[in-house]
Amino acid sequence: MARILVVEDSPDVHALLVETLRAEGHEVSGVHDGLAARRALSADGQERRTPTDASPGLPDLVVLDLMLPHVDGSVLLAEIRRDHDLPVLVLSAKDAVFTKVDILRLGADDYVTKPFDLTELTARIQALLRRSSTTPPAPRVLTHGALTLDPTTVRASIAGTDVPLTATEFHILHLLIEQPGQVLSRPRIYERVWDEPFAGEDAAVKTHLSNLRTKLRDAAPDSDPIETVWGLGYRLRALPTAGD
């Protein structure tokens, strides 16, 4: 059972989501506008840093509509990424101004386009919950040059500087650091991280990798730890340590 916050202004869609997720055994709370969502997410005031360190009052996952009264969903998404380490599944209408790539760049872990298939939506929610609540295998601290990954605390750092990552970004980096120097294709990354068959979801992989690359570059200027091997995939370069 997970705690899920549904943020959706359509009464019919809101009722459908809440009823369905409760029927699957989750503890579900729902709000209809951006201000109420902001209050729900700030009720505890403490950031949930790891899956085993959940603060009371915070959900385990947020289902977020973008077109909301009072506070737009894109603003809420930015605030969630700034203040919390929570997986976010965005709902977006087909004619919304945001493209799927834009949504992922805003910080969403996944998206479902409206009108949506309920079975697909619940499957994606379950996949997100698995990724955010399951510590990746090999609990030892992993290092590759100046880059360090600690699966136990779900934290990444470069030469001691923390790199704030979403759950999806952490899993991608974990996969790359487990196989340093090896080229991993987009289908392989998708199937390992999303835990479902690859069906041409290039945008999801490319956008999360782009976000991950930007964060690593911010922590280590003048570096490019993720190498794109054109036509094949991606591999992790070793960042030089202080003594190199």
Question: What does the pLDDT read at residue 94?
Answer: 58
Question: What does the pLDDT read at residue 96?
Answer: 59
**130 Cβ contact list (under 8 Å, min separation 6):** 195
232 CB-contact burial (10 Å; exposed 0-12 / middle 13-18 / buried 19+): exposed
Question: What does the pLDDT read at residue 45?
Answer: 40
**19 Cβ contact list (under 8 Å, min separation 6):** none
Question: What does the pLDDT read at residue 51?
Answer: 37
- Amino acid identity of residue 170, one-letter, is F
Please spell the DSSP secondary structure of 148-204, one letter per residue.
EEETTTTEEEETTEEE---HHHHHHHHHHHHSTT--B-HHHHHHHHH-S---S-HHH
In a structure prediction context, what are the per-residue pLDDT tens digits for the chain, which is 244 residues long? 889 999 999 999 999 999 999 998 999 999 999 999 999 988 544 334 333 333 447 899 999 998 899 999 889 998 998 888 889 999 887 555 567 778 888 889 998 888 888 888 999 999 888 877 654 444 578 888 889 998 878 889 988 889 999 889 999 999 999 887 789 999 999 988 888 888 877 888 889 999 999 999 998 887 888 988 888 899 998 776 655 5
Q: Which residue has the tokens 């409760």?
A: 22
Q: Which residue has the tokens 């916050």?
A: 5
Q: How many CB atoms lie within 10 A of CB 22?
A: 13
Question: What does the pLDDT read at residue 85?
Answer: 81
